[in-house]
Chain A
Amino acid sequence: MSNTIEERKKEKKNQTTQKVLELKDLSKDFGGLRAVDEVNMVVNKGELRCLIGPNGAGKSTIFKLIMGLYPPTKGSVLFKGQELVGLPVWKRARLGISIKMQIPGVYGELSLYDNLRIAGQNFIPPIKIDSEIDRLVHLVGIENLGNPIVKNLSHGQQQWLEIAMALASNPELLLLDEPAAGMGPEETEFTAQIIHKLSEKGITIIFIDHDMGFVRRIAQKVTVLHYGKLFAEGTIDEIETNEEVIRIYLGS
Chain B
Amino acid sequence: MKRLTAENVTAGLLFIFLIFYPLMASAYNVLNMSYFLSMVFLSLSLALIWGLAGIFSFGQTAFFGIGGYSYAIISLNLDIPDITFIVLISALLIAGIAAWILGYFIFYGGVNDVFVGLITLCVTLVLATFMSQTAGSQWKIGSVPLGGDNGINNIPSISIGNIISFERNYLYYLILIVLVVVYLLLRKISHSKSGYKLIAVRENRERSELFGYNIPLIQTMVFTLGGVLAALSGVFYVTWGGYISPSSMGITAAALPVVLVAAAGRKNLTAVILFTIIYYMFSQYLSVTGSEYALVVLGFTLVVVILLVPQGVFASLFQLLDRLLFKKK
Contact = CB atoms under 8 A, between A and B. Distances in A.
Interface of A: 67, 88-90, 93-94, 98-99, 101, 105, 107, 109-110, 114, 117-123, 126, 165, 168-169
Contacts of B200: 107, 118
Contacts of B193: 121, 126
A90 B209 contact: yes
Given A90-B215, A110-B203, A126-B193, A118 B208 contact: yes
Contact of A105 (B207, B212, B213): B207
A94 B203 contact: no
B196 interface: yes
A121 B203 contact: no
Contacts of B252: none
A88 B212 CA distance: 10
A179 to B, nearest CB: 16
B214 interface: yes
A97 to B, nearest CB: 9
Contacts of B199: 107, 110, 114, 118
B210 interface: yes
B196 A121 contact: yes
Interface of B: 193, 196-197, 199-200, 203-204, 206-215
Contacts of A114: 196, 199
A107 to B, nearest CB: 4
Contact of A122 (B204, B212, B215): B212
Given A88-B209, A105-B206, A105-B207, 17 more contacts: A67-B210, A88-B214, A89-B209, A90-B209, A93-B212, A105-B204, A107-B207, A110-B203, A114-B196, A118-B211, A120-B211, A121-B193, A121-B196, A122-B213, A123-B212, A126-B193, A169-B212
A89 B196 contact: no
5 contacts: A90-B214, A101-B210, A121-B196, A121-B197, A168-B211
B211 A122 contact: yes
A105 to B, nearest CB: 4
B312 to A, nearest CB: 15
B203 A109 contact: yes
Nearest to A168: B211
Contacts of B212: 90, 93-94, 122-123, 169
Contacts of B208: 118
Contacts of A122: 211-213
A122 B211 CA distance: 8
A122 to B, nearest CB: 4
Given A105-B204, A107-B203, A117 B211 contact: no
Contacts of B211: 93, 118-120, 122, 165, 168-169
Contacts of A107: 199-200, 203-204, 207
A239 to B, nearest CB: 30
Contact of A93 (B196, B203, B210): B210
B132 to A, nearest CB: 42
Contacts of A98: 210
Nearest to B201: A118
B79 to A, nearest CB: 49
A217 B193 CA distance: 40
A105 B203 CA distance: 10
A90 B211 CA distance: 7
A123 B213 CA distance: 11
Nearest to A117: B196
A165 B207 CA distance: 11
A98 B204 CA distance: 16
A67 B207 CA distance: 12
B196 A118 contact: yes
Contact of B209 (A93, A101, A109, A121): A93
A117 B208 CA distance: 12
A164 to B, nearest CB: 12
Contacts of B213: 90, 122
Nearest to B204: A107
Nearest to A175: B210
Contact of B210 (A99, A110, A123): A99
A106 to B, nearest CB: 8
Contacts of A99: 210
4 tightest Cβ-Cβ pairs between the two chains A and B: A122-B212, A93-B212, A105-B207, A107-B203
A90 B193 CA distance: 17
A67 B206 CA distance: 12
A223 to B, nearest CB: 23
A122 B210 CA distance: 11
With a 10 A CB-CB cut-off, give which of B203, B206, B208, B212 has the most chain A CB atoms. Answer: B212
Q: Which of A90, A93, A114 has the most chain B CB within a 10 Å cutoff? A: A90
A109 B207 CA distance: 14
B44 to A, nearest CB: 22
B219 to A, nearest CB: 13
Contacts of A67: 210
Nearest to A162: B207
A39 to B, nearest CB: 22
A65 to B, nearest CB: 14
Contacts of B214: 88, 90
Contacts of B215: 90
A99 B213 CA distance: 14
Contacts of B207: 105, 107
Contacts of B210: 67, 89-90, 93, 98-99, 101, 105
